[in-house]
Chains A and B, each alone.
Chain A
Amino acid sequence: MKEFVLIFRTSNNADFKPSPEQMQERMNWMAGIASQNKLVDKGNSLSPVSAKTVRPGNVVTDGPYTEIKEFVAGYVIVRTETLEEAVELAKDNPVLKSGGNVEVREVLKREINN
């Protein structure tokens, strides 16, 4: 089994303050993955407001933005055999409904003391 981080990106600030229905939808999505015993870590939501970006030369800017007006809203870690399977799980995530996207990245397991 491999592990993948699903990273949710959105440009919609409203995603940060979800309605009860949206919360329910997210919960259903995550619990659905947990029911398949594929959830490694339920991850965290990341605040788009209490956020700074630190750059070289002691430059600190407001907000989580790097290049575009899109930010990482949160992440979860799942466990599947293949990248494709992880992508299938990501396809059902409700963030897609509000114009966001999900980045799927395999976790590289480097041997320690190698």
Chain B
Amino acid sequence: MEEKATSQQLLPHLFRLEYAKMTAVLCRHFGLQHIEIAEDIVSETFLKATEFWGLHGIPANPTAWLYTVAKNKTKDFLKRQQLFDTQVKGNIRTDEQQPEPDLAFTQQLFNDSQLAMIFAVCNPANSPESQICLALQILCGFSVEEIANAFLAKRETIKKRLLRARTNLRNDDFKITTLREDAIQSRLATVLRTLYLLFNEGYFSASNNHLIRKELCSEAIRLTLLLVEHPLTNSTKVNALLALMCYQSSRLDAREDEAGETILFEQQDKDLWSKELIDKGNYYLVNACSGNEVSKYHLEAGIAYWHTTPTDNKKWEHILQLYNELILIEYSPMTALNRTFAFAKVYGDDKGIIEAEKLRLEANSYYHSLLGCLYAGRDVEKAVNHYNTAITLTKSAKEKRTLLKEVERLKGKA
């Protein structure tokens, strides 16, 4: 009875961890067109594990057990297929030996296969959203339910999105077996973008489920780490992205209180920042700066780095400088607003207000919360007005509560 309970706890964890790895290895063997075969074999393996472990208890080495079963199921499948080819289809070459599948589940094979899968899944034929969904399903072993939760979307929507994305994937005929350097170079930008978005989905997600969000972040880190650890993809840009993820993650626990409410950066308990992750961030940022390349990931990692340092008079100047460069590489309303915040930190709220009002992002809730923040020390009425506009514009309930608290605080002062 007790063992049953443990197996039910262990399985979901193992499933997540091993599902993606196993699928990747098998997919490499069968080819991307037959990803369903690979997934079927892996699912059957886990099904067998649930039944068998429930009855007989968990084996000493569960992972090895899973791989033996997966290997045997693959052999069975190939035998059946060969039988079909030779006897049903009538290809009378029975003496021909089917080569043994090379399925020694070694670390090297895992890494190669997973890397190939990352590049297969991040296919520009699919929209960035679909790529993230696919990544979560195929690379991270998330269920449709879990993906729907993370995106605050309906199950059916996610299901349809995945179906369409998979069709595109099959039609594209990406060569997963031998991942070549030119294929890597031409697709690396898409891969990094998808991993970046996957991470942000976790970090900024509207979902209230802290656990799922944390998991999205750590999965994004795990996949980026695979790129860093593989000589074919260990570029300065990849290191910069990983550094960025480490810095951001270091604050994951500090920015939420026990009730799950957002704690603003300035009010965070800095002792809760993960020193270990900051150190890792520093390590990868140093690696990222070994070349001459300056990508948007470098700049964002640089900004995140400065946020981990104590406030001195130069801190915001550095941050502003990095935001200046970032906005020249790629415009986004969020970058424009963050840059203006940094500008105000350096040159004062008055100049900040002039700079902010030029942005004219009237439909953006963050535009109004920025102006609310800048006006707070100057003109309480205007500040409250902007905050109220932000409250009506924002879709996030959490954001709304944070802003309402600010309005209350200001009204109390007035």
What is A's interface to B at a CB cutoff of 8 Å?
24, 27-28, 30-32, 34-37, 39, 42
Contacts known (A28-B343, A31-B339, A32-B358); A37 close to B331, Cβ less than 8 A: yes
Contacts of B324 in A (CB 8 A): 27-28, 30-31
Instruction: Let me know if B327 is at the binding interface, CB within 8 A.
Output: yes
| Closest residue on chain B to residue A27 by CB atoms | B324
Instruction: Let me know if B14 is at the binding interface, CB within 8 A.
Output: no
| Closest residue on chain B to residue A42 by CB atoms | B328
Contacts of B355 in A (CB 8 A): 32, 35
Contact present for B359 and A31 (CB under 8 Å): no
Docked Cα-Cα span, A7 to B328, in Å, equals 19
Give 13 A-B contacts (CB < 8 Å), ordered by A residue.
Answer: A24-B317, A30-B324, A32-B343, A32-B355, A34-B327, A35-B327, A35-B331, A35-B335, A35-B336, A35-B358, A36-B358, A36-B360, A39-B328
Docked Cα-Cα span, A82 to B317, in Å, equals 33
Contact present for B328 and A36 (CB under 8 Å): no
Contact present for A30 and B328 (CB under 8 Å): yes
Q: Shortest CB–CB separation between residue A94 and chain B, in angstroms?
A: 14
| Closest residue on chain A to residue B343 by CB atoms | A28
Docked Cα-Cα span, A24 to B325, in Å, equals 11
Docked Cα-Cα span, A48 to B335, in Å, equals 34
Instruction: Let me know if B340 is at the binding interface, CB within 8 A.
Output: yes
Contacts known (A36-B336, A36-B359); A31 close to B328, Cβ less than 8 A: yes
Docked Cα-Cα span, A31 to B343, in Å, equals 10
Contact present for A35 and B360 (CB under 8 Å): no
Contact present for B331 and A34 (CB under 8 Å): yes
Q: Shortest CB–CB separation between residue B401 and chain A, in angstroms?
A: 29
Docked Cα-Cα span, A37 to B333, in Å, equals 8
Contact present for B321 and A35 (CB under 8 Å): no
Docked Cα-Cα span, A42 to B329, in Å, equals 10
Docked Cα-Cα span, A39 to B355, in Å, equals 15
| Closest residue on chain A to residue B337 by CB atoms | A35
Q: Shortest CB–CB separation between residue A39 and chain B, in angstroms?
A: 7
Contact present for A27 and B336 (CB under 8 Å): no
Instruction: Let me know if B323 is at the binding interface, CB within 8 A.
Output: yes
Q: Shortest CB–CB separation between residue B333 and chain A, in angstroms?
A: 8
CB-CB contacts below 8 Å: B303-357 with A: 317, 320-321, 323-325, 327-328, 331, 335-336, 339-340, 343, 355
Contacts of B317 in A (CB 8 A): 24
Q: Shortest CB–CB separation between residue B26 and chain A, in angstroms?
A: 47
Docked Cα-Cα span, A28 to B325, in Å, equals 10
Contacts of B340 in A (CB 8 A): 35
Contacts of A34 in B (CB 8 A): 327-328, 331, 336
| Closest residue on chain A to residue B331 by CB atoms | A37
Docked Cα-Cα span, A30 to B328, in Å, equals 8
Q: Shortest CB–CB separation between residue B315 and chain A, in angstroms?
A: 15
Contact present for B336 and A37 (CB under 8 Å): yes
Q: Shortest CB–CB separation between residue B330 and chain A, in angstroms?
A: 9
Q: Shortest CB–CB separation between residue A8 and chain B, in angstroms?
A: 17
Docked Cα-Cα span, A36 to B358, in Å, equals 7
Contacts of A39 in B (CB 8 A): 328, 331
| Closest 5 pairs (CB-CB, A-B) | A31-B324, A35-B336, A34-B327, A27-B324, A37-B331
Q: Shortest CB–CB separation between residue B347 and chain A, in angstroms?
A: 8
